[in-house]
Chains A and B, each alone.
Chain A
Amino acid sequence: MIIAQQKSIQDIASMIEDCNKVLLVGCAGCVTVCLAGGEKETEVLAASLRIKRRLENKPLETVTFVATRQCDPEYIETLESYVKDVDAVISLACGVGVQYVAERFSDKWVVPALNTNFIGGSLNHGEWEERCGLCGDCVLHRTGGICPIIRCSKSILNGPCGGSQYGKCEISKDMDCAWQLIYDRMKALGKLDKLMEYQPPKDWSKSRDGGPRRAVREDVMID
């Protein structure tokens, strides 16, 4: 899922400094699961902003709503009645959601409440780690299910490098060397010979190469 975390209340408040009434829109997708933008966080943020503004003698009115997802236009449509009389919209979605809201309500001041960090999973409750580099050309079948693109600091394909020591990466003693992990896993799987195959330079054109990528499935497209 997408992992995001809330910006500081000061940062968010400064984006809507001159507004008297704002709509806060949560998202019931990824950001609910990573505890950043569900109904609870939306209500808590609204209350925090109101308290802050009350203390500053500039009372703020808030309206809250949680969209099923903010990355599909139909769900954004459900916001329409709320958006009308507010001065700004604060989206608690990932960067995608903020853009969808801004695009649909192009005359409104739409601001992000979250920083979208990465796509990853949870390690413990309240702790997440990046697990995918979105390279567009998955190599996990060659590396024992461990991604060298995102988990190796250098994203090298024929590791490890000379900076691997005692299983750790040279950049931090707390960071595992991805290639050590790959080696150990492949060894346990009895597939070390696969690691001997040289991997040519990756075709990064499928990754971020200068413009937004687009994915199409013609067979499901509706005329």
Chain B
Amino acid sequence: MSSGKVGAVMVVGAGIAGIQASLDLAESGYYVYLVEQSPAIGGAMPMLDKTFPTNDCSMCILSPKLVQCGRHLNIETLTNSVVSEVEGEPGNFKVSIQQKARYVDPDKCTGCGSCAEECPVKVDDEFNQGLGKRKAIYKSYAQAYPNAYAIDPSKCLKMKKAKACGKCLEVCQADAIDHEMQDETIDIEVGSVILCPGFEKFDPTDLEYYGYGKFPNVVTSLEFERILSASGPYGGHLQRPYDGKEPLKVAWIQCVGSRNCKIENGYCSSVCCMYAIKEAVIAKEHSKNDLDTSIFFMDMRTYGKDFEKYYDRAREEQGVNFIRSRIFKISEVDEESKDLTIRYADEKGQLHNEEFDMVVLSVGLEPAPSVIELGKKLGLELNQFGFAETEPMTGVNSSKEGIYVAGAFGGPKDIPETVLSASAAAGASASLLGDVRGTMIKEVEFPPEKDVSEEDPRIGVFVCHCGVNIGSTVNVPGVVETAKDLPNVAYAGEYLYVCSQDSQASIREAIEEHRLNRVVVASCSPRTHKPLFQETMREAGLNPYLFEMANIRDQCSWVHMNEPEKATEKAKDLVKMVVAKAALLEPVKQMSVQVTPKVLVIGGGVTGMSNAISLAEQGYSVHIIEKSDQLGGNALRIKQGFKGEDVQAFVADLINKVESSDNIEVSTGTGVSEASGYVGNFKTTLTNGDIVEHGVTVVAIGGQEYKPTEYLYNEHDAVFTQLELEEAIAANDPKVTQAKNIVLIQCVGSRDAERPYCSRVCCNKSVKLALHLKEINPDVNVFVLYRDVRTYGFYEENYRQARQKGVIFVRYNAEDKPRVEAAGNSLQVTVTDHVLGEPIVIETDAVGLAAAILAPEDNEQMNRMFKVPLNADGFFLEAHMKLRPVDTAADGVFIAGLAHGPKSMEENVAQAKAAAGRALTILSKDSLESSGVVAVVQPDKCAACLTCVRLCPFSAPRINNYAAEIEAVLCQGCGSCAGECPNKAITLQSYKDVMLMNMVDSLYKEVR
């Protein structure tokens, strides 16, 4: 390594940010050390019930990532570990890690749970927010990785006194528990560090007026998530923790520990408005009664993509009450009922006392003290609240080079923004370590695959006891005997834990000894264990698709625990069926395509350029096309960022970097005229006739400012849009700089019937413009007419400052919008004051309109050419609202910037880097492989009816030579086309009709 850099990265914190950053880096050719303080990866997401705005189950969407991260060859997960020291320089850090003893060997532990069943010590379960109990030996949650237990040394009886207990040792058949285990120091070398230690929820105990800790029916929002969760303490049954009563009336109190300067938490926690609405909606769904839900809030901050519609639906369709009030106090109605009274003043100033069965405190997000300490130890600049201060317009760079920040450590964030920042930090790390990519990664070599096509099936059946999980209910030896007599079975045996390391060796031996060419494992879920056994198959020289599983645990012994005989019969049936299928299994060959290591970036604004620079720095060739005749996009009109950044200098710097890079080619005045191909192999014809071949497409075509038709815009020369106002200030236009009164009107063209979305940046922009106007002329009166002030995150500070400097904020109702009338050279604005209920007339010299951000017109063209779907508002739709924020349904096409949805410039830069990070996972590979079983067309049966082409969510099929063709690399193996093909011309490998019919036949053979 001539550069002296190390091709490995340390990721600190294994929540969704850490998992995403690790996966992106490991998939791009870097070795990753994932350091996690607790015994399991996952972070806060597994605790959540549903996620907004799609109401996806949190655990369901996370768990595939847990499996992928846990099993990745190039991600070394260090649990129970904290970073104690970091030395060195960017590219080469020496890190010392303290790993606390787990007292259970995760390599031996199979997660069977027998130990916890026997453990006599019950303690409050922190995963369930103390609402339930766990044992002293425990696994945080069912799907946790590592799938291994850990001992809480402060609670374990044996740890206190060696002879006091030892029950876990008696039942552990895997011999995994060791009470003598010692803490360890692990030294590693890495090229960069990504910090994503997450957040801690605000503890409301000290805010006495909320009564938390004193009144049992006041709970935090995270406690409420566990109450709603099917895996929570009440199995998803909505009830009060105090007496188990089903509540009929629940209130949410917003901004608990947020927007509160008295306790020095002046910032907005950004996510609470949405999660409170979600909890109210889901609670209504869970309740058998007509649950009454009320949310007490100050400003409704539903500023994210599709959030406003979620708010609208909750209010108008689901009947959630929204009460605009910062409440005074919560008290208990009486000792007996423990119901609660909320005392509050409504908007008119009238006092109310309203009773509720339960109150949920929407607690804010804080950095954990240990995280602040880590930040200080690393010498990072932290802001006044203890969050990491990121370098201007970088999104993810900490104040120290080579150390990046992702997730809530950089400020409160929701899940998609957290994932986005993680991919961005991975992209930034890769930029730093471009020349040492691939130097530290591990690869496995498998023996050549045996050709078994001419052999008759010889099936091996491996039946698992899973400790006592299966064995105590199902008669495992009986199942083995049945299996031995089944057709084509050459071997059957029983194993204590089929998944253990030594069992893998025995499987390989059995394959050798009995010349097995198909393997069936009867144990648990293929979701968690199939990849492990498939790897064993490959080690034994067999194609991994000559393997099948029968789930005789989750689907048999666990659910029929009280009927062992019937459970045994069912287990035999399950094995019979799977053996019948296995006999017909065929090897599946992975298809692969070459990757063209080049990127086409469409759009030369800040987003497109940031993305291009990030990828060019890693040595990839990038072609930027820009429709207008110069680079810069909308940013050319913006002078100042939300944190006071000099935007023009920033844009000039970007343009300079782009133009001086050897790896970037720029075509201005150029668009796309034709696009074809797919991931790894796109072929795009430009409007100048050039043809670009590229492996990845990044669409960053920006957005446009709405041209208002209201408020005398275009009719009076003192009515400006925000961007025009900023330009007028910069040009020293006396209409603005010498004005005595200026009125700024919010939500112009946003949050209405035609455009039911929030444009996200306009509140921040108006606040910033107001401050700027006050700076130029402290005597100017600035009025901001708003509906909700959405200065989320640390922008709340700007809002506070603006009020301090005398900017006047007047709230108006959507039903009663302000009126702007001409009064000679000046203007007159009439707005109804929400407290007085009376119209206020403001004589003003200028009016600034916070005009909406619109999707670019070209989104539709991009939609047609690159098959990237659009949402109802015309913005690009990401592949998954939560976990794939820059990917699209079209593999290899990434989106970033305003074309995806309104965002600030800094957020656009972060998204651009995230798109670079994700693009790398493709570009860094020489070829792409199909992802497993794929659908295959029999062309002579195909009627070219287009059903598959229309149906496929991944655009894998196309008609070629009068028949359908399915691109294996794009196919995800979902089987929709195979099911729908009207002439049965399509089959899904390993799921052929004949296999499934054989399974059914084997099951009913005796009755026939």
Interface residues of A (CB under 8 A from B): 26, 28-29, 32-35, 38-41, 43, 66, 122, 125
Residue with the highest number of chain A CB atoms closer than 10 Å, among B941, B944, B946, B984: B984
Also in contact, A39 and B945, with CB within 8 A (given A125-B950, A125-B951) = no
Chain A CB within 8 A of B472 CB: no
Cβ–Cβ contact A32 & B982, under 8 A: yes
Name which residue of chain A comes closest to B951, CB basis.
Answer: A125
Cβ–Cβ contact A38 & B950, under 8 A: no
Interface residues of B (CB under 8 A from A): 941, 943-947, 950-951, 980-984
Partner of B943, one of A32, A43, A122: A32
Inter-chain CA distance A33–B951, complex, in Å, is: 14
Inter-chain CA distance A35–B944, complex, in Å, is: 12
Please indicate the chain A residues that have their CB under 8 angstroms from the CB of B943 in the complex.
28-29, 32-33, 38
Q: Apart from A33-B945, A40-B984, what 5 extra A-B contacts exist at CB < 8 Å?
A: A32-B982, A33-B982, A38-B943, A39-B983, A41-B982
Cβ–Cβ contact B982 & A40, under 8 A: yes
Please indicate the chain A residues that have their CB under 8 angstroms from the CB of B951 in the complex.
125
Please indicate the chain A residues that have their CB under 8 angstroms from the CB of B941 in the complex.
28, 39
Inter-chain CA distance A154–B223, complex, in Å, is: 68
- A26 → B minimal CB distance (Å): 8
Partner of B947, one of A28, A35, A66: A35
- A174 → B minimal CB distance (Å): 23
Please indicate the chain B residues that have their CB under 8 angstroms from the CB of A41 in the complex.
982
Please indicate the chain A residues that have their CB under 8 angstroms from the CB of B984 in the complex.
38-40, 43
Also in contact, A66 and B950, with CB within 8 A (given A32-B943, A33-B943, A38-B943) = no
Name which residue of chain B comes closest to A35, CB basis.
Answer: B982
Please indicate the chain B residues that have their CB under 8 angstroms from the CB of A39 in the complex.
941, 982-984
Inter-chain CA distance A32–B980, complex, in Å, is: 11
Please indicate the chain B residues that have their CB under 8 angstroms from the CB of A38 in the complex.
943, 945, 981-984
- B978 → A minimal CB distance (Å): 10
B contacts with A: majority SS: loop
Please indicate the chain B residues that have their CB under 8 angstroms from the CB of A122 in the complex.
946
Inter-chain CA distance A41–B981, complex, in Å, is: 10
Please indicate the chain B residues that have their CB under 8 angstroms from the CB of A29 in the complex.
943
Please indicate the chain A residues that have their CB under 8 angstroms from the CB of B983 in the complex.
26, 28, 32, 38-40, 66
- B748 → A minimal CB distance (Å): 33
Q: List 12 A-B contacts (CB under 8 A).
A: A26-B983, A28-B983, A33-B944, A33-B946, A34-B945, A35-B947, A38-B945, A38-B981, A38-B984, A41-B982, A122-B946, A125-B947
- A5 → B minimal CB distance (Å): 13
- A35 → B minimal CB distance (Å): 5
- A129 → B minimal CB distance (Å): 16
Please indicate the chain A residues that have their CB under 8 angstroms from the CB of B944 in the complex.
33
Partner of B945, one of A26, A35, A66: A35
Name which residue of chain B comes closest to A31, CB basis.
Answer: B982
Residue with the highest number of chain B CB atoms closer than 10 Å, among A34, A38, A43: A38
Inter-chain CA distance A125–B984, complex, in Å, is: 17
Please indicate the chain A residues that have their CB under 8 angstroms from the CB of B946 in the complex.
33, 122, 125
Inter-chain CA distance A194–B254, complex, in Å, is: 69
- A113 → B minimal CB distance (Å): 14
Inter-chain CA distance A108–B901, complex, in Å, is: 65
Name which residue of chain A comes closest to B983, CB basis.
Answer: A38
- A38 → B minimal CB distance (Å): 4
Please indicate the chain B residues that have their CB under 8 angstroms from the CB of A125 in the complex.
946-947, 950-951
- B185 → A minimal CB distance (Å): 62
Please indicate the chain A residues that have their CB under 8 angstroms from the CB of B981 in the complex.
38, 40
Please indicate the chain B residues that have their CB under 8 angstroms from the CB of A26 in the complex.
983
Name which residue of chain A comes closest to B979, CB basis.
Answer: A40
Name which residue of chain A comes closest to B980, CB basis.
Answer: A40
Inter-chain CA distance A26–B984, complex, in Å, is: 12
- B232 → A minimal CB distance (Å): 41
Please indicate the chain B residues that have their CB under 8 angstroms from the CB of A43 in the complex.
984
Inter-chain CA distance A125–B949, complex, in Å, is: 10
- B945 → A minimal CB distance (Å): 4
- B997 → A minimal CB distance (Å): 11
- B690 → A minimal CB distance (Å): 33
CB-based closest 10 A-B pairs? A38-B982, A38-B983, A33-B945, A39-B984, A32-B943, A125-B950, A39-B983, A35-B982, A32-B983, A32-B982
Inter-chain CA distance A26–B943, complex, in Å, is: 13
Inter-chain CA distance A38–B981, complex, in Å, is: 9
Residue with the highest number of chain B CB atoms closer than 10 Å, among A32, A41, A43, A66: A32
Inter-chain CA distance A38–B944, complex, in Å, is: 12
Please indicate the chain B residues that have their CB under 8 angstroms from the CB of A35 in the complex.
945, 947, 982
Inter-chain CA distance A145–B984, complex, in Å, is: 35
Please indicate the chain A residues that have their CB under 8 angstroms from the CB of B982 in the complex.
32-33, 35, 38-41
- A54 → B minimal CB distance (Å): 13
- A190 → B minimal CB distance (Å): 27
Inter-chain CA distance A212–B453, complex, in Å, is: 56
Inter-chain CA distance A28–B944, complex, in Å, is: 10
Name which residue of chain A comes closest to B943, CB basis.
Answer: A32
- A69 → B minimal CB distance (Å): 11
Residue with the highest number of chain A CB atoms closer than 10 Å, among B941, B944, B945: B945
- B977 → A minimal CB distance (Å): 12
Residue with the highest number of chain B CB atoms closer than 10 Å, among A29, A34, A40, A66: A40
